[in-house]
Structure 1
Amino acid sequence: MPAPSRPDKPSFGAGTSGREFARGGRVAVPLRSLEFAAASIILKERGRHRVAAAIGCEVDVGRCREWVFDSNERLSFMDRTSLRQSMRRIKVTCGAAAFAAILLLASTTTAENRSYDGSGNNPLNPAWGAAGTNLIRMAPAAYADEMYLPSGGLRPGARKISNAIAAQSVMIDDSRLLSSFVFQWGQFIDHDLDLTTSASPSESLPIPIPTGDPIFDPLSTGTQTMMFQRSTYDSATGTAPGNPRQQVNAITSYIDGSMVYGSSESRALALRTMSGGLMKTSGDDLLPLNAMGLENATGGNPATASYFVAGDIRANEQVGLTAMHTLFVREHNRLAGELAAANPTWTDEEIFQRARKIVGAEIQAITYGEFLPALLGTMTPGAVASYDPNIDATVATEFSTALFRVGHTMLPPNLLRVQNDGSEAPGGPIALRDAFFLPTNIASGTELEYLLKGLATQCQQQVDQLVVDDVRNFLFGEPMPGGFDLAALNIQRGRDHGLPDYNTVRVAYGLSPVASFAEITSDANLQAALAAVYGDVNDIDPWVGALSEDHVAGSGVGPLVAAALADQFARARDGDRFWFANDLEFTPAEIALLESTRLSDIIRRNTGITNLQDNVFFVVPEPSALALAAAALVSLAFTCRHRRGDAPAE
């Protein structure tokens, strides 16, 4: 089905090439004609508030200037609800001569914006979803001592399970042709939702290495361990049975763009130029370098000033993630430029907050309109929300610690770098093991475009329990002392957080417990491997069990992952007072435009990439209408070549 028609560069509150309604809180009509407005405004009375509505006929623009809101007028909560319902019934049409959209915007000087730390989103429970508050639990904690000692004490060590269950020798492309943007957006949005840092003072929980492990104990010493630090926790918890340890989420639980702007006002201010609503950048419109000395993950490298810095401390963790951060800082600054040009009297703060609001809405729209449908299929929570102050959007520890770590199995061994015409970029792909904490991988805007185009071109790996060697044996460095095993880390983190067994977690999400390994998977070899390493179907680590499940029909994941994601993303939507579809700062026309926003739109608006499929979450042959002549020689087989681990062509 073709994408709905929309302007290449939508404008939110910014006049285009015509006149602008402006007085107090603005009503703006972007026009493609200087001669007329293809809309009019009529007044209605709701109490003492005037309500503007659009109808499809021509009017004199000058007269409309007297009909807009006064800067001191504000809608009450009840009036806001009624207005949204009535405005949804108004039909706004587009024509070749004019873009007839009424942009009814409340005064930015009095508009309520999200707090940076998420506090106050729910006025009745202002701490819900705020940075620095505890993760919630869907299932009871299962600490060995009912307080804080790790769960799963009778299970084998995490590395032993990883070797038995997660070792991947053959690359398996996603059967539904999901692109690498699925795992990349998943990581990006995860860093908008949760971050558990290491406890201070540190609390070690080393992972035992099996004797003779070919990577970590090749000399069969039997004494090797893998470093692991337990997570930060609420010091008021874990003190007695009935008061189990609870881990702390360092960032907001809302989908609010915190990975772009930060989860504290101080970080947000440090990332701004404080002029024109703009965010700081470095050469070639890349992320700023950390000259300001903000907290930043660098993989242990002390040269912190040479690393990029963003709203989330993990922006350098992986080169594709850095690309996503860069893309959305560019989008913010693009919007800020348009808003400043259209509204010359606006302050830096007004421009910044309006651009921030739009970027947050775009992130929400892409997550619910593209990412979740691609991954979950029919189990996707829609973007249409009905705010419920009784719903707590706080992230669940089962989601963050185990069930949203599904992306780790999607990772390919190489990240493609692809030119706009679809051909391989000079230098070929980046080995995944070389993609971590190396900001030099994005040294220019051209490199950024190669990576973004590569993510759209390359299939992700099938969602299963298998993890490629680049993150199972080489994560963040060479094997020992820097190397690590991401699968083992996931298992150990679940035990650190006191997660119960797989069956208990299934029940917590409304699923029936399984009675045999055959009920988890139809793969006889995997059934045997699970039985050999665990023995008891009632004592499986949740991350392993969930990723071993057969997929739900039409979905890219099994039933437990699907249920957990559906729950978390529904609560993130319905428990968010500032959800874009309910926000009266947006008109119905703007909401419709936001709902139609695709990630491909953001990429095209902020890079030189033009040859791109509309839905970048699925791999497709190059669009024939856009493909350059050279692309005709590039088949989908090329797309899969490096995905299967083959060596690049000489």
Structure 2
Amino acid sequence: MSKSIVIIFSFIIVGSVCHQNNIANNDELLESNSKLNVLNKKLSKIPTRVNGNNTNLYKCADSYDISRQKANDPNPQRIPGLDNGSHTIGMLSPRDIDLSDRCFPRPQCNPNALFRTADGSCNNLLFPTWGKTNVANTRIIQADYSDGVNQPRKTVSGVELPNPRKIRTAIFPDKNQPSPDHTVYVTQYGQVIAHDTEFAVKKKTSTGKKPHCCNLDGSFPENLPAECISVFVPENDSEMKKRCIPITRTKDTLDIGCDIKPARQIIGVTSFLDLSLLYGSNDETAQSLRTFNGGKLKYQLGPNGKMFLSNVENPMKSCNGQVEKPICYTAGDTRVNQHPGIAVPTISFLRLHNIICEELKTINPQWDDERLYQEARKMLIGMYQHVTYNEYVPILLGSDFAKLNELLPLKKGYDNRYDQFLNPTTFSSFTATAFRAPHSYIQGTINLMNEFRKTTCSLKLSDVFLKSDLIQENDNFDSITRGMITQHAQGQDQFFTSQISNLLFKKTNPLGGLDLISIDISRGRDYGEPSYNQFRLLCGLPLAKTFDDLLDQIDQENVSILASLYKDVNDIDFYVAGMVERLKPGAILGHTFQCVVGEMFFRWKFGDRYYYEFKNSTGAFTLNQLDQIRKTTFAQILCLTSDIQMIQSNPFFNLREGYQAVPCNCLKNINFSAWKE
């Protein structure tokens, strides 16, 4: 069957799916298609994929547009932790950052272990709980609780802080303002990192049950359970019919009998960039995901014999799919089915792990299952870390900032800057506030695209929550992947799609949709994050004494809105003000968010003994292997794990003039001979 017939046939099937579910918006689809007319002409002559490295059918050219990644911040800031925070105000001392260490038993470690543990323990041989699952978040700045222990902050006058939902509707509306440069995969890669490094374990009642944080009819409880921090929806809020947004508080050190004050929240996954969302964060989960045959992970076969994550035991109970074709994935992280945008990259990593296993087995037939699994896992984590610091971090934080703060990978040789006294455990102001900023980047639709990058189907995000079956219909995996490397992300600003600000999980929640932004604001309060003013000091800015003092980072219109919401400049939530800061040059975050997020990526790099460029562990890559890992690009990963044929060299940037797609077989491949024994 010719490629053109396949594409037309695919269009008919996918289009019918949209029609049956009544979720295609014809006007939006026509508008989207018209914008792609120029691109379609450029890609109208797609060469046939050829075997091996034969690229005679197409002139392979580097499509990477350097001008879009260039350094352009003339005065980048230093992160608080560089130079031990000596240039900051409010940075906790290392002893206070590590305060909760005593709450958790010290594991027994093998100093000669070649590979990471599943639960993150023993990465640091002096402090073996650092980065481990089921320990407490660290803090780099002291918590601000109204009782000094774990009750949410109040205003300086002692009354309740402004209602989160009122804040959301006043300053964070829905406005379609796409990013000019970045694709949806910038958003989704950020979610991969978020799920890889943090999971908020929810509190339970004294009897071990899930608390009822809203009444069954959607009204606000007369007596809100202590385990809840639910948001009251004002009566005049026309966007929501219910009066209560349920939010369960996060389990903290008090819940496990650890008497430290202020309390710290428990992390349900490893802190390291170790792909725990694929492999799991404890031995039991890791073992359950393995085939124990050739080192491979479990999988199920979908259309055309393609590999997908295996199912949970009861797909219909855990997902919102079709009865006749129940699909609901199991992975290292339970959130994999939230929406197709997080499931698709997890599937890509699954496929790549199993591909690596096959390659390693070919060159080392003597290796047993355990060796193949561990070597493939180690290699894939190294590739993932390289993409993160080489391609994603410069977009998120800016190239100049990344360079100044030593976040960019080396071009050759080992990096010998591992710091055994730098705690890499995910800290609260990162996970509860600053790294929630990219929620603004979320698109309200998922576009499925064919090989010509033409939209064949547009799905509302609110219609696909917990619908993993969509990914395996007609092998939509490739169509979704093409969409994520073509469709513009929403811009990083104060505007959020209503798909997450009013309709989050609307079909899976009997009370209707949730508001992610109100939840974000509340989560910062749950974690005891101090006011925006304290983060100004931490990040080298002067303390704002009046609202007008905020004009150095925030536009007048937004300062006026903040003044209408908060009575005192010291009351402002970090998340709220951080979201309206002007973006730093070359970055997609403002000053304080860039500062806090940069600190976290610094700690994940230099506090990880197994970081791929280090030679501090007995299982470090050889120099030849490291050279091969450094060939990794995100484009290469997507090509290896899908049937897409054309791709831009950096899929985080959208296609446009001067930044064209090339055939996948033009990309450099890793030479596995470096692993031959």
| Equivalent-residue separation in structure 1 for 2:152 and 2:368 (angstroms) | 52
Task: After TM superposition, give the deviation of residue 297 of structure 1 in Å.
Answer: 6.7
- Hey, what does 2:380 align to over in structure 1? 359
* DSSP-derived class of the 1:590 partner: helix
Structure 1 residues 614-623 or 191-200, which shifts more?
614-623
| Equivalent-residue separation in structure 2 for 1:600 and 1:268 (angstroms) | 27
| Equivalent-residue separation in structure 1 for 2:542 and 2:638 (angstroms) | 42
Q: Deviations over 1:389-416 (max 9, x none)?
A: 0111011100000000112100111121
1:470-549 aligned within 5 A: 470-477=499-506, 481-515=511-545, 516-517=547-548, 518-519=550-551, 521-549=553-581
* DSSP-derived class of the 2:472 partner: coil
Matched residue type, 2:162: P
- Which residue of 204, 218, 239 corresponds with 1:215? 239
Q: Deviations over 1:550-595 (max 9, x none)?
A: 0112222101111111100011000001011114542223212222
- Hey, what does 1:174 align to over in structure 2? 179
Would the aligned equivalents of 2:321 and 2:468 in 1 still touch at CA under 8 Å? no
- Which residue of 405, 418, 422 corresponds with 1:391? 422
Task: After TM superposition, give the deviation of residue 524 of structure 1 in Å.
Answer: 2.9
- Hey, what does 1:72 align to over in structure 2? none
Would the aligned equivalents of 2:182 and 2:488 in 1 still touch at CA under 8 Å? yes
- Hey, what does 1:379 align to over in structure 2? 401
Cα distance change of structure 1 residues 606 and 505 upon mapping to structure 2, 3 Å threshold: same
Cα distance change of structure 1 residues 625 and 432 upon mapping to structure 2, 3 Å threshold: closer
Structure 1 residues 243-252 or 439-448, which shifts more?
439-448
Structure 1 residues 278-287 or 129-138, which shifts more?
278-287
- Hey, what does 1:204 align to over in structure 2? 228
Q: Deviations over 1:228-271 (max 9, x none)?
A: 1111112367987x712210011111111111100011111111
- Hey, what does 2:124 align to over in structure 1? 122
Matched residue type, 2:506: G
Cα distance change of structure 1 residues 148 and 625 upon mapping to structure 2, 3 Å threshold: closer
Matched residue type, 1:505: F
- Which residue of 143, 146, 163 corresponds with 1:144? 146
1:457 aligns with 2:486: yes
| Equivalent-residue separation in structure 1 for 2:444 and 2:564 (angstroms) | 28
Task: After TM superposition, give the deviation of residue 154 of structure 1 in Å.
Answer: 2.9
1:257 aligns with 2:275: yes
* DSSP-derived class of the 2:514 partner: coil
Matched residue type, 2:123: N
Matched residue type, 2:185: F
- Hey, what does 1:612 align to over in structure 2? 647
Task: Indicate the structure (1 or 2) with the bigger Cα radius of gyration.
Answer: 1
| Equivalent-residue separation in structure 2 for 1:476 and 1:311 (angstroms) | 22
- Hey, what does 1:279 align to over in structure 2? 297
* DSSP-derived class of the 2:488 partner: coil
| Equivalent-residue separation in structure 1 for 2:273 and 2:288 (angstroms) | 21
| Equivalent-residue separation in structure 2 for 1:520 and 1:163 (angstroms) | 24
Matched residue type, 1:164: A
Long gaps (5+) in structure 1: 1-15, 18-109, 219-223, 629-650
- Hey, what does 2:347 align to over in structure 1? 326
* DSSP-derived class of the 2:485 partner: helix
Cα distance change of structure 1 residues 303 and 563 upon mapping to structure 2, 3 Å threshold: farther
Would the aligned equivalents of 1:270 and 1:292 in 2 still touch at CA under 8 Å? no
Q: Deviations over 1:512-545 (max 9, x none)?
A: 3334354265533222211111232211111111
Would the aligned equivalents of 2:442 and 2:497 in 1 still touch at CA under 8 Å? yes
| Equivalent-residue separation in structure 2 for 1:205 and 1:624 (angstroms) | 48
Kindly indicate which of the two structures has a greater share of residues assigned to helix. Answer: 2
1:36-115 aligned within 5 A: 112-115=114-117
1:551 aligns with 2:555: no
Cα distance change of structure 1 residues 397 and 111 upon mapping to structure 2, 3 Å threshold: closer
* DSSP-derived class of the 1:579 partner: coil
Would the aligned equivalents of 1:147 and 1:239 in 2 still touch at CA under 8 Å? no
Task: After TM superposition, give the deviation of residue 304 of structure 1 in Å.
Answer: 13
| Equivalent-residue separation in structure 1 for 2:610 and 2:356 (angstroms) | 20
1:189 aligns with 2:193: yes
Cα distance change of structure 1 residues 355 and 498 upon mapping to structure 2, 3 Å threshold: same
1:230 aligns with 2:249: yes
- Hey, what does 2:56 align to over in structure 1? none
| Equivalent-residue separation in structure 2 for 1:445 and 1:144 (angstroms) | 54
Matched residue type, 1:159: R
Task: After TM superposition, give the deviation of residue 300 of structure 1 in Å.
Answer: 12
Matched residue type, 1:379: F
Task: After TM superposition, give the deviation of residue 350 of structure 1 in Å.
Answer: 0.4
Matched residue type, 1:536: D
- Hey, what does 1:401 align to over in structure 2? 432
| Equivalent-residue separation in structure 2 for 1:292 and 1:625 (angstroms) | 41
| Equivalent-residue separation in structure 1 for 2:485 and 2:375 (angstroms) | 29
Would the aligned equivalents of 2:554 and 2:580 in 1 still touch at CA under 8 Å? no
* DSSP-derived class of the 2:570 partner: coil
Matched residue type, 2:288: A
| Equivalent-residue separation in structure 2 for 1:421 and 1:121 (angstroms) | 45
| Equivalent-residue separation in structure 1 for 2:310 and 2:447 (angstroms) | 25
- Give the TM-score normalised by the residue count of structure 1: 0.74
Long gaps (5+) in structure 2: 1-51, 54-111, 206-210, 212-226, 665-677
Q: Deviations over 1:445-485 (max 9, x none)?
A: 73111111111101111112221100000001158713100
- Which residue of 439, 460, 475 corresponds with 1:446? 475
Task: After TM superposition, give the deviation of residue 292 of structure 1 in Å.
Answer: 4.7
Cα distance change of structure 1 residues 510 and 252 upon mapping to structure 2, 3 Å threshold: farther
Would the aligned equivalents of 1:501 and 1:542 in 2 still touch at CA under 8 Å? yes
Identity of aligned residues (%): 29
- CA-atom RMSD in angstroms: 2.8
Cα distance change of structure 1 residues 302 and 487 upon mapping to structure 2, 3 Å threshold: farther
Matched residue type, 2:234: P
| Equivalent-residue separation in structure 2 for 1:302 and 1:312 (angstroms) | 24
Cα distance change of structure 1 residues 120 and 510 upon mapping to structure 2, 3 Å threshold: farther
Task: After TM superposition, give the deviation of residue 508 of structure 1 in Å.
Answer: 3.1
Task: After TM superposition, give the deviation of residue 299 of structure 1 in Å.
Answer: 7.9
Cα distance change of structure 1 residues 317 and 236 upon mapping to structure 2, 3 Å threshold: closer
Q: Which has the higher contact order (CA 8 A, sep 6+)?
A: 2
Task: After TM superposition, give the deviation of residue 373 of structure 1 in Å.
Answer: 0.6
Would the aligned equivalents of 1:476 and 1:483 in 2 still touch at CA under 8 Å? yes
Q: Deviations over 1:468-511 (max 9, x none)?
A: 10000000115871310000000111111111111113323444
Aligned residues: 511
Cα distance change of structure 1 residues 467 and 299 upon mapping to structure 2, 3 Å threshold: farther
Would the aligned equivalents of 2:309 and 2:350 in 1 still touch at CA under 8 Å? no
Q: Deviations over 1:12-36 (max 9, x none)?
A: xxxx99xxxxxxxxxxxxxxxxxxx
Task: After TM superposition, give the deviation of residue 293 of structure 1 in Å.
Answer: 6.8
Cα distance change of structure 1 residues 352 and 590 upon mapping to structure 2, 3 Å threshold: same
Q: Deviations over 1:315-368 (max 9, x none)?
A: 011211100100000000000011112211111000000000011001100110
Would the aligned equivalents of 2:168 and 2:518 in 1 still touch at CA under 8 Å? yes
| Equivalent-residue separation in structure 1 for 2:651 and 2:129 (angstroms) | 36
| Equivalent-residue separation in structure 2 for 1:600 and 1:278 (angstroms) | 23
- Which residue of 421, 438, 448 corresponds with 2:452? 421
* DSSP-derived class of the 2:609 partner: coil
